[in-house]
Amino acid sequence: MTKKRIGVYVCHCGGNISDYVDIEKVKEAVKDEANVYLLKNTLFACADSSQKEMVADIQAGELDAIVVASCSPKLHVPTFRGVAERAGMNPYNYVQVNIREQGSWAHSDNHIGATEKAILLVKAGIARASESEALTSSKIPAANVVAVIGAGVGGMRSAIALADMGSEVYLIEKEKNAGGHVANYGPLFTTDITGYELAANLLAEVKKRANIKLFTNAELVEKKGSIGNFDIQVKTDRETLPLHVGAFVINTGFDSYKPAPGEYGYGEAANVMTLPEFKKLIDNSSDKLIFNGKTIKKIAYIYCVGSRQDDEGDNKYCSRFCCTAAIHSSIQASKKFKNITNLHFNRGIRTYGKQELLYEESSKNGDIYLQFSLKSIPEISQKGGKTFVKVKDILTAGKEVETEADLVVLVTGMVPRENDLLVKQLKIPVGRDHFFNEIHMKLRPVETVIDGVLIAGTCQSPKNILETMNSSMAAAAKINSVLTKGEITLEPTLAKLNPALCTWCGKCAEMCPFDAIVQTEYDGRIVAKINEANCKGCGMCTPVCPTDAIDLAGFTNAQIEGMIDALAEN
């Protein structure tokens, strides 16, 4: 084993770790491990003051490596690499050990076991640090060009923001026209403009900018490469274009929930319609609301159709925008037509934030709110050409109410769009609810685990237009801040090939998911060669190599074997 001076820090994480893992026992158990030069515990390793202390320790002790036993590397690898760099230590000589997600949190019911596991993990981390090598990252040029997929209002807004920040934009829309759902909407809530106007305004802004190229009837059909340098093919109704882009902003939007045949009588009775259909009806009617030749006076709205479903449905989530959208439509109806009675059969109104004012306005209009639970949903029946809605109303202590309605509006939610091809090409992570998943829900809501693939708008989760705009612009800001530098730093944790050992059997090239392994000549023989710009350091090639000619920097065989030895020791 290599002789090294290693600093080891065991973090309490406030109490997230130390409430379950006995930190003193961990320290006691690892203090005599080879190469441990300094051993400390810390309340929050990530706090700025702790980071400063580490920098001072590394410099004063001339440390070769550090081990931080705290949380998931997903959170803090950049933090402690930064500490190493500021202290003048190679950042790849830092090893993170996860004793929180893999220790205290996973075993909160077993303090002794959690402590024992933490000890082994820290020992393995020390073993890995003992074999760590200094690595240097390289830089490659990056194209400040972004492909925005989807030209609804969110996609157009991303494109405009990117163009104004200096990026080149390809705006790719699979429909004939830009504008998405919103281009078909009349009045929008919490604003004075209509959906038609908003979509038209944005399209005009898109067309004004020379650095946005809009493709309609277009689809992404091929993708190669990685952040900064993707080579893509875009197929339109006329041609297939090869394009070079640095990143993607995915803004593919949502589909409206389509009620199942017979769900609340949908498809059976003509006067049962969805909210989008009702909105069209309001917009297309002038002074009287007439449907099938009958003047509409009494409208029943049934909420949460396709959202917050029970065990039999897939959609467990709340669709967020629909309570406000339905109430807004009911206000529109009352404003536009005479003598309208609105009956809202809901499951608890969710007009959050300023949208509350619309709920208040509708209540003042005399709208009637009745609340039901999943256990007893409203029943729609037809008797003698008339439509009746029956419900057990929670707000009046479960009293059964039956009322006639001229129109039944199903307040349908958002569902994730079918995007199988795109998901496959870009490897976009999909969540349990089938919407796209961000890398971190709280602080990184527009980034994904795939570098250079950002998500915005309703493809990530249901949102209203304001929220869609914020997320679309945030995604634009994020990716522009990366690409505007003109270069991308490549992780040095790449596969390394020793050509002297390689006999070219081709197994590695077969395994590589990123087409990073090609043939070359060495010493008169055909051997493998790693294309570093394509290599993601996934390690798929190393175990299949029969001659051990490939090693993965940062995860070398020597490091992994050292870790296994440490873990197997007890």
Partner 1 sequence: MEATLTGKMDNTVAGVANYDVLVIGAGIAGEESALKLADMGFRVLLIEKEPSIGGKMILLSKVFPTLDCAACITTPKVSETARHPNITLLTMTEADSIVKEADNRFSVVLKKKPRYVVENDCTGCQECETVCPMVVKDQYQFDLVARKAIYIPFNIANPRVALIDIENCTLCGACEQKCPSNCIDFTQKEEQINVTVKSVVVATGFKLFDPISIDRYGYGKYKNVITSMQMERELAPTRPFNHILRPSDGKIPEKIAYIFCTGSRDHTVGNPICSQVCCMYSTKQAQLLMGALPMADISLYYINIRAFGKGFNEFYLQAKDMGASYVKGKIASVSEKENGNLLLRYEDVATGKVTESEHDLVVLSVGLLANPAITKVFKNATLEMDALKYIKQTNLLQSPALTSIKGVFVAGTATAPMDIPDTIMSAGAAAAETSGYLNQWS
Report helix, strand or coil for 211.
coil
The residue (of 207 and 316) whose beta carbon lies closer to partner 1 is: 316
By DSSP bridging, strand 298-305 and strand 341-346 are parallel
The residue (of 353 and 543) whose beta carbon lies closer to partner 1 is: 353
The residue (of 161 and 183) whose beta carbon lies closer to partner 1 is: 161
Rounded to a whole number of angstroms, the minimum distance from the CB of residue 401 to partner 1 is 14
The residue (of 353 and 546) whose beta carbon lies closer to partner 1 is: 353
The residue (of 18 and 542) whose beta carbon lies closer to partner 1 is: 18
Rounded to a whole number of angstroms, the minimum distance from the CB of residue 154 to partner 1 is 11
- The answer to whether the beta carbons of residues 36 and 6 sit under 8 Å apart is yes
Length of the chain: 570
Task: Identify the sign of the CA torsion 85, 91, 94, 97.
Answer: positive
Cα–Cα distance for residue pair 295/300, rounded to 1 Å: 15
Residue 457 CB contacts under 8 Å (≥ 6 apart), including other chains: 150, 152, 154, 155, 251, 252, 253, 463, 468, 471, 472
Q: Which residue bears the tokens 């309490």?
A: 12
Rounded to a whole number of angstroms, the minimum distance from the CB of residue 95 to partner 1 is 18
The residue (of 223 and 308) whose beta carbon lies closer to partner 1 is: 308
Rounded to a whole number of angstroms, the minimum distance from the CB of residue 370 to partner 1 is 12
Rounded to a whole number of angstroms, the minimum distance from the CB of residue 233 to partner 1 is 29
Q: How far is CA 348 from the centre of its chain?
A: 28
The residue (of 34 and 395) whose beta carbon lies closer to partner 1 is: 395
What 8-state DSSP symbol labels residue 88?
T
Q: How far is CA 385 from the centre of its chain?
A: 48
- Helix residue ranges per DSSP H, 61-141: 73-86, 111-130
Rounded to a whole number of angstroms, the minimum distance from the CB of residue 527 to partner 1 is 41
Rounded to a whole number of angstroms, the minimum distance from the CB of residue 303 to partner 1 is 12
Return the CA Rg of the chain.
30
Q: Tokens for 358? A: 């619309």
Cα–Cα distance for residue pair 68/13, rounded to 1 Å: 12
Residue (of 257, 373, 369) closest to 310 by Cα position: 373
Q: Tokens for 8? A: 């080891």
The residue (of 338 and 485) whose beta carbon lies closer to partner 1 is: 485
Rounded to a whole number of angstroms, the minimum distance from the CB of residue 453 to partner 1 is 16
φ, ψ (nearest 5 deg) of residue 249? -115, 115
H helix or E strand, kind and range, residue 324: helix 322-336
Residue 254 CB contacts under 8 Å (≥ 6 apart), including other chains: 181, 414, 415, 416, 417, 458, 459, 462
Rounded to a whole number of angstroms, the minimum distance from the CB of residue 345 to partner 1 is 15
The residue (of 23 and 202) whose beta carbon lies closer to partner 1 is: 202
